[in-house]
Amino acid sequence: MAQPLGEFEQMVLLALVRLGPGAYGATVRREIQMRARREVSISAVYTTLERLEQKGLVRSRIGEPTPERGGRRRRHFDLLPLGARSLREAYTALVGMTAGIEGRLKTL
Amino acid sequence: MAQPLGEFEQMVLLALVRLGPGAYGATVRREIQMRARREVSISAVYTTLERLEQKGLVRSRIGEPTPERGGRRRRHFDLLPLGARSLREAYTALVGMTAGIEGRLKTL
DNA sequence: CATGATTTCCACAATGTGGAGGATATCGGC
DNA sequence: GCCGATATCCTCCACATTGTGGAAATCATG
C-alpha cells in the first residue's frame, strides 16, 4: 500500500483533485461541505493538509497577495504522485467493498 | 449525521452488509482482505466491532458450538438501524465527493 | 491602525493496529 | 468416560495515527 488514508484525509485529497492547482484552505473546506454535506471546521482542514504534506502526499506553495481586499497570502496545495497513488488505492478498495451492493447501500 | 465513521469502521460495516447474519471475526477479516486487497489483523477487526457495538451500530450474539471441528463459540455480528444509517451517510458522502471524477480516480 | 482573510498553535478525543495470551470446543487414546 | 493434544476463536492492552475545534497569530488592504 502506498500510504493508508483516514476517512477525512480521503475527503481532503478528493477535494484537491476536484479543485485543481488553485486549491487552498477555504475552497477545500467549501468543497467538502457542499459535496459531502457535512460540517467541517477550517482547522481540521489545515491540520490534515499539514500532515499530508509531511507524509509527502501533497505539496504547498505560498501564493501572491490577492489583488482584491485585505487578507493574508493564500497557501495553495496540490497533489503529489504519492498522494495520487494513495488516493487511488483507497478508492479502489472502497469500490471493491461496495461492488454489487450499491443499490442496497443507498436504501439502508 | 447519524454517527461519523472511520475508514476501517466503514470497511467492517460494509463487510457485515455483504456477509449477512452469519458474520463473525474470521469472515469479516477475510471479506475485507479479499475485496479491499489489504492486510487486516484479526484483533483490529475485533476491536472495531467491539467499539461499533458500544456505539450502538452493531449487535452481537454468541452462536451455538459448531458441529464440525473444535474451537470456541463464534460471536456473530449484525448491523443495527443506526449502523445502517451511518454507513449510508458515509457512502453517499463519498459518492458526492467522487461524482464525475470516477474515471480520473482509477488512473491516478 | 482598523479591519478582513487566512493560517497556525495546541490540546484532547476518537480511531487504527498488532502482539500476546486466554477461553472453549472437538478428537483420539487409554 | 477421562485427559491431554490440538484447532479455532476471542479478549486484553498498549501505543500510533487521525480527527476536531477553540483561540490566537499573521499579513495584506484601505
Q: Taking CB atoms and an 8 Å cutoff, what residues of chain B touch A106?
A: 88, 91-92
Within 7 Å: CB of A70 and strand C? Answer: yes
User: Does pLDDT of A68 surpass 90?
Assistant: no
pLDDT of A67 reads 67
Write the CA distances from A15 to A30, A31, A35, B9, integer angstroms.
9, 6, 9, 22
Q: Calculate the average pLDDT of chain A.
A: 94
H helices then E strands: how many in chain B?
A: 5, 2
Write the CA distances from A48 to A25, A108, B9, integer angstroms.
10, 30, 19
Q: Taking CB atoms and an 8 Å cutoff, what residues of chain B touch A93?
A: 11, 35-38
Cβ–Cβ below 8 Å for B96 and A14? no
- What one-letter code names the amino acid at B16? L
Q: What is the pLDDT of residues A35-66, one digit of tens each?
A: 999 999 999 999 999 999 999 999 999 988 77
Q: What is the pLDDT of residues B43-83, one digit of tens each?
A: 999 999 999 999 999 999 998 877 666 678 999 999 999 99
Q: Average of pLDDT values for A11-28?
A: 96
| Alpha carbons B72 and B65: distance in angstroms, whole number | 7
